[in-house]
Chain A
């Protein structure tokens, strides 16, 4: 390529890189470890969703079988994806099989002998449920974070979905209040309204103020056994650590899915409450429910815990308030969660990192100082050792760093703490290829070649060595990228880009510099 064109290309690349990386504060994205903020990795317990789906199917199966007059002695979900049916009448076994294969095609059926059958959810269906609950969890968390108001949050899936190890990464820059954030994005926020089963002989008004503090006490009130339609749910009282138990009906006529809106509001006594509005359909149901049960207690449950159990004083249609011992923050957060919908499954926290901004800015400062120190030492060494040719290497080095930053700006790559180390290393490695070439040129000069010939053969002979050594380094850097998450990946990115930029500056730019120098004047002795 003629020299003119080579220079044109160099200028274009340089200008483009400068455009992409300046001003640095705007173009280079900082990682959480430098900027400060919260980093969470959570596992979605998709087994929960499968279990819920199995339970639901078991119920449907029970009613369908009853409709067809197939009697069973036992019908229970075995947890994740299995339904065990026992004591199927042998005369009706064919009917049973028919029903399962026609209406429960998501299950494979196997006979265990003695009229016992095991229905197992097919892997494809299991996978589908896992994937969809991950999607739903991502959507819900995204909604909640958006409503919470965080600038540039990261909410994404990590790894693969469908295998039971579905993970979500959440990064919230600039947020320090881990406790609140974890509560906000991690709790399922499944809201239910349930009628309270007041024990016989108790006055509603009395029971309301003194729900029993132990399960035994509650059972005595019911005369030994709870009614079949009743389950017990705990509630925390004003005193921390103290728990009371509420007997509630199993059915939840209204749930969080019926909400149209929820907002934080100020209650009658100036306390924080959450105001809700129901959809038209649910409003109708709520009206019927409250009309039929006026004077009764209606418990409001959040994630299977009673938050309050007010008395139904009037018919309520489509809006009302949730009272509880809320603070302004917790009422606001509950409203956000209710507006964003419930999570389809529980979450398990795998990793949490909170970095304060002061620590991050200390690290940035130290990293910059170290990189500049390294660069200055390398520059001094190259100038002392290679004289004028050292200057050539330094121009290449500067360009290398510029290209690295430009590429990071273009790829929207994140600069992390180890990434700064990657930049410092790139500075050290940038001159490696120059050293290879210069040493080769010196060798050629020692063999008595002219300056021009020595430079030409120096570059051509060093070429394959440089390519080989860069490719092997790149292999390791690519594996590093595949292995790492977050900060380590940031390191791998700077390293990979640095290596590629290195090839360009050393082989292309350095060569052009030499050729220009040699073509503009007669050089008898190369300063190298």
Chain B
């Protein structure tokens, strides 16, 4: 059977065009730096502090109206973004680190802000229903629902509508309702949906029907980060990048040569800068997992470079007399197919993650995708030319001395 081959026995004259390739990289890096400095990163709540609430609406919200409602609160700068699938009607609401006051005796935090946000977003009729003492099924927590049910059950027992001695479980009922809500993506659409929860007793069904309503909004997640946290995380991330680069440099120095390590690390910075430039360009949110993605790029891209370096070392040992540039070119060609193939398989998975992983994974997988692509390029077209250029400069210097 014939082998299925791509890019085997390539004989590309990569070293001949090394200045072109380095030039392309230089342009990409410059463009990335330009984007970073002009547009800047879209810092997530992890870094800039503040509150981020993800709200799902029953009906498609008007972004402008929501913005107006929230700005009227005067709790800080409001940033709105549609998120998830259009039919989910979700908004990501970010409130900058504004005037968040210390709640007396307790902790400062988001819930004050997020409660205000949710209250401001509630429709007029929701507000009047809540004011009339009805419970919003889309915002109630299991605990608050349980307390409410327990009181109702107690009152009914005293009034004799529930015969004393029958057990009606407030906790189990509340949990069943919340579980049903979660199964529906966190939002009930109508009170009729409650009837499909078979574990609820008729008495509880009646209580719920009479005392609750279907609110327009539900918070899917709430995040609050204090003002000092971001700086801390960035400092740690910086150290992690520097530390991993130093150790990678050391390892390559021990296994290969110092200058090869330098070439590898230069290629790494190239990849990370390009990935960050892409983030600045697309204004995708820069979050903690994105930093993790950048470090993963560091780890993965160097592995690719090491494969090429390994081959160069092997070939240098075999062909001691041949010109270094030719040896490097041959090594790249020999490893070209595997460089492309290994990147290809990883890109398959990263692409799947980007397309199907959901919006919470969006920025992370995007960063990986760009970084891996840059990494594939840099192991071949950046690291190796640096070796050759260095070798040429070294030979030149030796010749002049002689």
Q: Which residues of A contact B (CB under 8 A)?
A: 36, 40-42, 175-180, 182-183, 186-188, 302-303, 305, 328-329, 347-359, 361-363, 366-367, 369-371, 373-375, 377-378, 381-382, 384-387, 417-418, 420-421, 424-425, 427-429, 431-432, 435-436, 439, 442-443, 461, 464-465, 468-480, 482-484, 487-488, 491-492, 495, 525, 527-528
Q: Judge whether A476 and B295 touch: CB under 8 Å.
A: yes
Q: Judge whether B221 and A353 touch: CB under 8 Å.
A: yes
Q: Judge whether B296 and A305 touch: CB under 8 Å.
A: no
Q: Judge whether A358 and B255 touch: CB under 8 Å.
A: no
The 8 closest A-B pairs by CB, nearest first: A476-B299, A428-B349, A374-B349, A366-B358, A358-B186, A483-B240, A469-B303, A428-B346
CB distance from A135 to the nearest CB of B (A): 20
Q: Judge whether B107 and A472 touch: CB under 8 Å.
A: no
Q: Judge whether A483 and B239 touch: CB under 8 Å.
A: yes
Could you list 5 further interchain pairs (A-B, Cβ under 8 angstroms) beyond the known A178-B109, A382-B345, A428-B345? A36-B182, A180-B143, A328-B151, A429-B346, A491-B296
CB distance from A468 to the nearest CB of B (A): 5
Closest to B268 in A: A476
How long is the Cα–Cα vector from A428 to B351 in the complex, in angstroms?
10
Q: With A425-B296, A472-B299 as known contacts, state yes or no: A480 contacts B251, CB within 8 Å.
A: no
Q: Judge whether B306 and A367 touch: CB under 8 Å.
A: no
In the assembled complex, which residues on chain A have CB atoms less than 8 Å from the CB atom of B185? 358, 362
Q: Judge whether A352 and B110 touch: CB under 8 Å.
A: yes
How long is the Cα–Cα vector from A186 to B103 in the complex, in angstroms?
11
Q: Judge whether A350 and B182 touch: CB under 8 Å.
A: no
Type the 1/0 row for B327-350, where 1 means its CB is closer than 8 Å to any CB of A.
000000010011001101111111
Query: Is B355 an interface position by the 8 A CB rule?
Result: yes
Residues 1-43 (chain B) with a chain A CB within 8 angstroms: 1, 3-6, 8
Q: Judge whether A475 and B182 touch: CB under 8 Å.
A: no
Q: Judge whether B4 and A387 touch: CB under 8 Å.
A: yes
In the assembled complex, which residues on chain A have CB atoms less than 8 Å from the CB atom of B109? 178, 182, 349, 352
In the assembled complex, which residues on chain B have CB atoms less than 8 Å from the CB atom of A378? 345, 348-349
Q: With A424-B352, A442-B3, A525-B1 as known contacts, state yes or no: A479 contacts B289, CB within 8 Å.
A: no
Q: With A439-B341, A475-B244, A483-B237 as known contacts, state yes or no: A303 contacts B357, CB within 8 Å.
A: no
CB-contact partner of B342 in A371, A436, A443, under 8 A: A436
Q: Judge whether B361 and A366 touch: CB under 8 Å.
A: yes
CB-contact partner of B289 in A303, A348, A361, A488, under 8 A: A488
How long is the Cα–Cα vector from A476 to B294 in the complex, in angstroms?
10
The stretch of B67-75, B160-168, B203-211, B224-232 that contacts the partner chain: B224-232
Q: With A179-B115, A359-B220 as known contacts, state yes or no: A367 contacts B358, CB within 8 Å.
A: yes
Query: Is B130 an interface position by the 8 A CB rule?
Result: no
How long is the Cα–Cα vector from A482 to B223 in the complex, in angstroms?
23
Closest to A417 in B: B360
How long is the Cα–Cα vector from A23 to B327 in the complex, in angstroms?
53
Closest to A473 in B: B299
Q: Judge whether B221 and A305 touch: CB under 8 Å.
A: no
In the assembled complex, which residues on chain B have CB atoms less than 8 Å from the CB atom of A351? 224-226, 229
Q: Which residues of B contact A (CB under 8 A)?
A: 1, 3-6, 8, 54, 104-111, 114-115, 141-144, 147, 151, 181-186, 218-226, 228-229, 236-237, 239-241, 243-244, 247-248, 251-252, 255, 288-289, 291-292, 295-296, 298-300, 302-304, 306-307, 309-311, 314, 334, 337-338, 341-342, 344-353, 355-358, 360-361, 364-365, 368
Closest to B220 in A: A359
In the assembled complex, which residues on chain A have CB atoms less than 8 Å from the CB atom of B358? 362-363, 366-367, 370
CB distance from A134 to the nearest CB of B (A): 17
How long is the Cα–Cα vector from A425 to B106 in the complex, in angstroms?
42
Q: Judge whether A182 and B111 touch: CB under 8 Å.
A: yes
Q: Judge whether A424 and B107 touch: CB under 8 Å.
A: no
Q: Judge whether B107 and A347 touch: CB under 8 Å.
A: yes
Q: Judge whether B299 and A425 touch: CB under 8 Å.
A: no
In the assembled complex, which residues on chain A have CB atoms less than 8 Å from the CB atom of B5? 442
How long is the Cα–Cα vector from A186 to B223 in the complex, in angstroms?
17
Q: Judge whether A425 and B349 touch: CB under 8 Å.
A: yes
Q: List 22 A-B contacts (CB under 8 A).
A: A176-B143, A186-B107, A305-B104, A348-B108, A351-B229, A358-B182, A358-B185, A370-B357, A374-B351, A384-B4, A418-B292, A425-B346, A428-B345, A428-B348, A435-B341, A464-B310, A468-B255, A469-B310, A479-B243, A479-B247, A483-B236, A488-B291
Q: With A328-B147, A348-B108, A377-B349 as known contacts, state yes or no: A480 contacts B225, CB within 8 Å.
A: no
CB-contact partner of A465 in B106, B111, B307, B344, under 8 A: B307
